[in-house]
Amino acid sequence: MPSGWDHDKVILALAKRGEKVSNLEIVDVYVQTYSQNPNCACIYTASSPFTKNGEWHLLVRPSAKSFDSAKIDVNADYLEKVGVYKDSDKYKVKDWNKFAEKLGLSFGAKESE
Protein backbone atom coordinates (compact mmCIF):
# COMPACT_ATOMS: atom_id res chain seq x y z
CA MET A 1 0.00 0.00 0.00
CA PRO A 2 1.32 3.50 -0.83
CA SER A 3 2.75 5.48 2.06
CA GLY A 4 0.57 8.51 1.32
CA TRP A 5 0.86 11.85 -0.37
CA ASP A 6 3.35 14.60 0.36
CA HIS A 7 4.45 17.84 -1.30
CA ASP A 8 6.85 16.22 -3.75
CA LYS A 9 4.48 13.40 -4.75
CA VAL A 10 1.66 15.85 -5.47
CA ILE A 11 3.91 17.96 -7.69
CA LEU A 12 5.20 14.90 -9.54
CA ALA A 13 1.68 13.51 -10.03
CA LEU A 14 0.46 16.85 -11.42
CA ALA A 15 3.41 17.00 -13.83
CA LYS A 16 2.83 13.37 -14.85
CA ARG A 17 -0.84 14.16 -15.46
CA GLY A 18 0.33 16.84 -17.89
CA GLU A 19 -0.32 20.01 -15.93
CA LYS A 20 1.76 23.00 -16.97
CA VAL A 21 5.16 23.30 -15.28
CA SER A 22 6.85 26.69 -15.11
CA ASN A 23 10.09 27.34 -16.91
CA LEU A 24 12.61 25.22 -15.03
CA GLU A 25 15.28 27.88 -15.49
CA ILE A 26 13.55 30.21 -13.03
CA VAL A 27 14.14 29.98 -9.29
CA ASP A 28 10.48 29.74 -8.27
CA VAL A 29 9.36 26.55 -9.99
CA TYR A 30 5.64 25.81 -9.83
CA VAL A 31 3.05 23.47 -11.34
CA GLN A 32 -0.52 24.38 -12.17
CA THR A 33 -3.06 22.34 -10.18
CA TYR A 34 -5.34 22.16 -13.25
CA SER A 35 -5.41 23.70 -16.74
CA GLN A 36 -5.76 27.48 -16.38
CA ASN A 37 -4.93 30.73 -18.10
CA PRO A 38 -3.83 32.94 -16.47
CA ASN A 39 -2.21 31.17 -13.52
CA CYS A 40 -4.60 31.20 -10.58
CA ALA A 41 -3.91 28.01 -8.59
CA CYS A 42 -0.30 26.87 -8.57
CA ILE A 43 1.75 24.76 -6.19
CA TYR A 44 5.37 25.76 -5.71
CA THR A 45 8.28 23.39 -5.20
CA ALA A 46 9.80 23.05 -1.75
CA SER A 47 13.05 24.56 -3.05
CA SER A 48 11.37 27.80 -4.15
CA PRO A 49 12.68 30.76 -2.15
CA PHE A 50 9.33 32.45 -2.89
CA THR A 51 7.66 30.14 -0.35
CA LYS A 52 10.11 31.20 2.38
CA ASN A 53 11.34 27.69 3.19
CA GLY A 54 7.96 25.99 2.95
CA GLU A 55 5.90 28.50 4.96
CA TRP A 56 3.27 28.04 2.27
CA HIS A 57 2.75 25.79 -0.79
CA LEU A 58 -0.15 27.01 -2.90
CA LEU A 59 -0.79 30.41 -4.50
CA VAL A 60 -4.45 30.97 -5.37
CA ARG A 61 -6.12 33.88 -7.17
CA PRO A 62 -9.91 33.38 -6.95
CA SER A 63 -10.54 36.63 -8.90
CA ALA A 64 -9.02 35.14 -12.11
CA LYS A 65 -11.45 34.08 -14.83
CA SER A 66 -9.87 30.64 -14.99
CA PHE A 67 -10.21 29.96 -11.24
CA ASP A 68 -12.39 26.90 -10.62
CA SER A 69 -13.70 26.61 -7.06
CA ALA A 70 -14.81 23.04 -7.80
CA LYS A 71 -11.14 22.09 -8.21
CA ILE A 72 -9.63 24.22 -5.42
CA ASP A 73 -11.79 24.73 -2.35
CA VAL A 74 -10.08 27.52 -0.43
CA ASN A 75 -12.37 26.87 2.57
CA ALA A 76 -11.41 23.20 2.88
CA ASP A 77 -10.10 21.95 6.21
CA TYR A 78 -6.92 20.65 4.58
CA LEU A 79 -5.83 24.18 3.55
CA GLU A 80 -4.76 27.03 5.79
CA LYS A 81 -4.54 30.59 4.49
CA VAL A 82 -1.24 32.00 5.73
CA GLY A 83 -0.81 35.24 3.80
CA VAL A 84 -1.43 37.41 0.76
CA TYR A 85 0.77 38.24 -2.22
CA LYS A 86 -0.50 41.02 -4.47
CA ASP A 87 -3.97 39.81 -5.57
CA SER A 88 -3.39 36.17 -4.58
CA ASP A 89 -3.69 34.20 -1.37
CA LYS A 90 -1.00 31.92 0.06
CA TYR A 91 -2.06 28.56 1.49
CA LYS A 92 -0.29 25.87 3.44
CA VAL A 93 -1.49 22.32 2.75
CA LYS A 94 -2.26 20.67 6.11
CA ASP A 95 -3.38 17.29 4.73
CA TRP A 96 -1.70 16.16 1.51
CA ASN A 97 -3.93 13.07 1.18
CA LYS A 98 -7.14 15.13 1.15
CA PHE A 99 -5.58 17.71 -1.17
CA ALA A 100 -4.47 15.02 -3.64
CA GLU A 101 -7.93 13.44 -3.53
CA LYS A 102 -9.58 16.81 -4.31
CA LEU A 103 -7.21 17.22 -7.27
CA GLY A 104 -8.15 13.75 -8.53
CA LEU A 105 -4.64 12.39 -8.23
CA SER A 106 -3.82 8.72 -7.92
CA PHE A 107 -0.69 6.72 -7.45
CA GLY A 108 -1.60 4.70 -10.54
CA ALA A 109 -1.37 0.99 -11.14
CA LYS A 110 1.98 -0.63 -10.76
CA GLU A 111 3.34 -2.16 -13.91
CA SER A 112 3.83 -5.90 -13.82
CA GLU A 113 7.27 -7.18 -14.66
**42 domain residue, yes or no:** yes
Question: What value does the mean pLDDT take over residues 56-80?
Answer: 96
**28 domain residue, yes or no:** yes
Model pTM? Answer: 0.89
The pLDDT value given to residue 61: 97
Beta bridge partners of 89: 60, 84
The pLDDT value given to residue 3: 77
**109 domain residue, yes or no:** no
For residues 67 and 91, give the distance between their C-alpha atoms in angstroms, rounded to a whole number. 15
The pLDDT value given to residue 13: 96
What percent of the chain is modeled with pLDDT above 70? Answer: 94
The pLDDT value given to residue 109: 58
**2 domain residue, yes or no:** no
Question: What value does the mean pLDDT take over residues 101-112?
Answer: 78
**113 domain residue, yes or no:** no
The pLDDT value given to residue 2: 55
CA atoms within 13 A on the CB side of 108: 10
**112 domain residue, yes or no:** no
pLDDT digits (tens, 9 = 90+) for 37-59: 999 999 999 889 999 888 999 99
For residues 113 and 102, give the distance between their C-alpha atoms in angstroms, rounded to a whole number. 31
**33 domain residue, yes or no:** yes
Q: Please give the residue range of the domain that contains residue 59.
A: 7-67+76-99
The pLDDT value given to residue 71: 95
Q: Please list, in sequence order, all residues whose beta carbon lies within 8 angstroms of the beta carbon of residue 72, skipping any fewer than 6 positions away.
A: 33, 34, 41, 58, 60, 102
- Count of structural domains within the chain: 1
